């Protein structure tokens, strides 16, 4: 089989999302065999590289597409880094603060939290605690050195964010990550960048035809890469909108789903 290039989401695809955050042995085995057969294997994640855990970095991937395509690494070499100008970073923070949006600002080398004084967002509080305990760089959004490559936002239910939605037009892409009774979660990425743009960059870089691209994911923020790939796989148990978008729905991560899908396509 000719060399292909494979792209994998992290949470729910490589890592279990049951709180235990484990990597199935079948996944380790499948990735190793795919590399032995000459395929390129990349993580493709919304996370910035700083927030990719060592257990993922040490799996033997050829590289990482991080921050929804804003930062790309191959064998430790940085191939692409999109930087938002400092003044735009500051302006964005001011707009978000005026609209009462809680935010995690992410860059390849730092994180910044702005919870707007709220203490009722358990996801953000857990992230702050986890990042601090893990020794990751966390800076104040008002610090001179603060910058970001993308951000995750939590919009309080019923909040008027019309100024924010107007501001991001032409500057950022808005990715809806779902909502509950209290918040709508979103990712905000520089315009023109996505998991799909990262894939295209690497296909061009390696000269690999599009028909030999494969993507594996489980959530709505994976849809750009699943829609772009020639061959797309949804993990068993994914949301219906994700399953409807792909070529193949595999077994769940708890049933060796990645290995099963890679066998189905003859990659291993």
Residues 182 and 252 in one domain: no
Residue stretches of the chain with pLDDT short of 70: 116-119
Q: How high is the pLDDT of residue 58?
A: 95
Residues 121 and 53 in one domain: no
The rounded distance, in Å, linking the Cα atoms of 48 and 69 is 9
Domain boundary among 138, 162, 190: 190
Q: DSSP assignment of 118-159, as one string?
A: ----HHHHHHHHHHHHTT--EE-TTSTT---SEEEEEEETT-
> Per residue in 59-85, pLDDT tens?
999 999 999 999 999 999 999 999 999
Residues 179 and 158 in one domain: yes
pTM higher than the cut 0.85: yes
* The residue count for the chain: 268
Closest to 190 (Cα-Cα) out of 43, 70, 92 = 70
Report in angstroms the alpha-carbon separations of 160 from 101, 115, 136, 163: 10, 17, 33, 8
- Exposure string of 38-75, with b = 16+ CB inside 10 Å and e = fewer, is ebbbbbbbbbbbbbbeeebeebebbbbbbbbbbbbbbe
CATH code, domain carrying 215? 3.40.50.1000
Residues 182 and 129 in one domain: yes
Residues 24 and 156 in one domain: no
Residues 110 and 161 in one domain: yes
Structural domains of the chain, count: 2
CATH code, domain carrying 105? 3.30.1240.10
> Which structural domain range is residue 9 located in?
5-81+193-264
Residues 73 and 203 in one domain: yes
Q: How high is the pLDDT of residue 118?
A: 65
3-state secondary structure of 165: helix
Alpha carbons within 13 angstroms on the beta-carbon side of residue 191 total 6
Q: How high is the pLDDT of residue 181?
A: 87
Domain boundary among 134, 165, 190: 190
Q: How high is the pLDDT of residue 263?
A: 98
Report in angstroms the alpha-carbon separations of 268 from 3, 43, 109, 153, 258: 12, 18, 35, 39, 11
Domain boundary among 137, 170, 190: 190
> Per residue in 164-199, pLDDT tens?
999 999 999 999 888 888 899 999 999 999 999 999
């Amino acid at each position: 089989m000719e060399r292909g290039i494979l792209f994998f989401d992290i949470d729910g695809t490589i890592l279990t999302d049951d709180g235990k955050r484990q990597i199935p042995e079948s996944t380790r085995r499948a990735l190793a065999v795919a590399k032995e057969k000459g395929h390129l294997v990349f993580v493709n994640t919304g996370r910035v590289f700083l927030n990719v855990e060592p257990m993922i970095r040490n799996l033997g991937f050829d590289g990482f597409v991080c921050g929804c395509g804003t930062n790309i690494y191959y064998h430790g070499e940085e191939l692409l880094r999109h930087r938002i100008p400092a003044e735009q970073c500051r302006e964005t923070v001011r707009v978000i603060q005026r609209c009462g949006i809680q935010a995690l600002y992410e860059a390849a080398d730092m994180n910044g939290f702005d919870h707007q004084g709220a203490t009722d967002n358990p996801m953000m509080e857990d992230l702050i605690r986890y990042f601090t305990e893990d020794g990751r760089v966390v800076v104040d959004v008002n610090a001179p050195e603060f910058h970001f490559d993308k951000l995750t936002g939590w919009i309080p239910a019923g909040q008027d964010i019309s100024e924010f939605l107007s501001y991001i037009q032409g500057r950022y892409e808005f990715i809806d990550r779902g909502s509950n009774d209290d918040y709508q979660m979103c990712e905000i990425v520089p315009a023109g960048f996505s998991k799909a743009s990262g894939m295209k960059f690497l296909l061009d870089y390696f000269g690999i035809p599009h028909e030999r691209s494969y993507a594996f994911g489980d959530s709505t923020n994976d849809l750009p890469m699943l829609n772009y790939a020639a061959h797309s796989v949804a993990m068993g148990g994914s949301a219906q909108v994700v399953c409807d978008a792909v070529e193949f729905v595999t077994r769940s991560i708890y049933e060796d789903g990645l290995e099963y899908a890679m066998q189905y396509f003859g990659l291993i």
